Amino acid sequence: MHKLIVSGGRPLEGEVTVSGSKNAALPILAAAIMLPGRSVIRNIPNLSDVTTIVRVLRALGLRAEYSQSSPNTVNVWNFQVRHVAPYELVTKMRASFFVIGPILAVKGLAKIPLPGGCAIGSRPVDIHIKGLTALGADVELEHGFVIAKTKKLRGGKVYLDFPSVGATETVMMAAALAEGDSIIENAAREPEILDLANFLNRAGAKIEGAGTEVIKVSGVNTLMPVDYKIIPDRIEAGTLLVAGAITGGKVLVKGAELGHMEATLVKLKECGAEIECGPDGILVTARRGINAVDIKTLPYPGFPTDMQPQFASLLSLANGTSVITETVFENRFMHVNELKRMGANIRLEGQSAIITGVPKLSGAPVRVSDLRAGAALILAGLAAEGETIIEDRDHHIRRGYDKITSKLTGLGAEIKDHQ
Ligand code: UD1
């Protein structure tokens, strides 16, 4: 079992560099299925979720290897693709389902197990399936597998019932090799969607409007290999900024992309943190107390659900009462009971957490239920009095945070990492 022991109460000071984006790396590696030959993908974070998608690619017949000569780089050689994705990998991580669009586009047949992932709601894949159907695929569910077939994908008009990140990516990838033009309406606008579109366009796809709610894809016959560097991880950057804020410290997050983080930065400022953005990155300084603020999670450019648990920890120490409303996932408050064990005063009412700030949190043994809940508990532990023992039985934290222990200890935190 992975266990972190955090001794709290030290203001974090110094500089830390953000890693590449997990949520861009995963679909981009999946999209490599559509690129013949050898592609090079850079700024890949060192995470277990990335290892999982690399293993999925290998199981599908691609060669995918971390470069020996350049760090954080994965080389993908693509000669032949199999159409069945392995159950044990897809059920381990929801994002491995995202191979369905590329496999279908290349093979005309894809058999993918229904996905697993973080325990933050039922997370169906109906919008992905509806989108592929609109591009001419026949999709059936059989024995726990989604089986999608088509003679040739053809362009179509796809309206997404919800701006799902994964479904937008699935449809965009499939449409890139379809015959004719596709329009995706009510598309997700996350920066990772734009990064995937930039990657595909570099490979010869014709995608316009990514990053807005209407994406136009003109299908092409083939793509070509590319050398591509993915964007920085805005959620990791946000988490590190909250680490500075919650400990009353001063932290420069180098390489963070200001333009991707507006909502997080606005809320940090409302909380009373000073934010300065320069060419190197984003500096947070938190010398005064934390103000209570209300937050509602929304699809981008709204406040990211992936930062909600971290702000729950921060607001647990605010002066006054805050309300956090979660609108993206139906069950994303599993960190709340653990924060309460540390002395937080939080009441759940439907999809809202009502947080009345307390003057201090106290270290306690706590358990990690999902990736961002794990981040929230580390942050609470950094600010708490005494020792917080974070049990991460399923290794959630490693799914999304590259070298989190050394990054935080480099800023003066005291954390012991027990594998
Ligand atoms: C992506 C991110 C994840 C983030 C989430 C929301 C990756 C690898 N992961 O996940 O970190 O928390 O966006 O910003 O990029 N839904 C359906 N049917 C579907 C698809 C989704 O009902 O077919 C629902 C989900 O259950 C959820 C909501 O839509 O309630 C948002 O999900 P979605 O945007 O698809 O998230 P992911 O792409 O899985």
Q: Global pTM?
A: 0.97
- What domains does the chain contain, in order, with CATH numbers? 3-15+233-418 (3.65.10.10), 24-227 (3.65.10.10)
For atom 20 of ligand 1, the residue with the nearest CA is 125
Q: Cβ(251)–Cβ(283) under 8 Å?
A: yes
Model pLDDT, residue 419: 78
- Residue 350, Cα to own-chain centre: how many angstroms? 25
Of the residues 114, 123, 159, which should be mutated to test ligand 1's pocket, given the most ligand atoms within 8 Å of the CB?
123
Model pLDDT, residue 371: 94
For atom 22 of ligand 1, the residue with the nearest CA is 124
Q: 20: which residues sit within 8 A by CB, 6+ positions away?
A: 42, 43, 44, 45, 72, 229, 230, 231, 232, 233
Query: Could you tell me the CA-to-CA distances from 78 to 35, 183, 251 in Å, in that order?
Result: 7, 28, 42
Q: Does 94 contact ligand 1 (Cβ within 6 A)?
A: yes
Q: What are phi and psi of 282, to 5 degrees?
A: -120, 130
Looking at ligand 1, which atom is closest to the CA of residue 371? 11
How many CB atoms sit inside 10 A of residue 276's CB? 10
Q: d(Cα 362, Cα 388) in Å, to the nearest integer?
A: 8
Nearest CA among 74, 56, 91, 67 for reference residue 20 = 74
Which of 4, 50, 85, 118 does the annotation list as catalytic?
Answer: 118
Q: d(Cα 25, Cα 229) in Å, to the nearest integer?
A: 9
Looking at ligand 1, which atom is closest to the CA of residue 125? 23
Low-confidence ranges of the chain (pLDDT < 70): 116-122
Model pLDDT, residue 418: 87
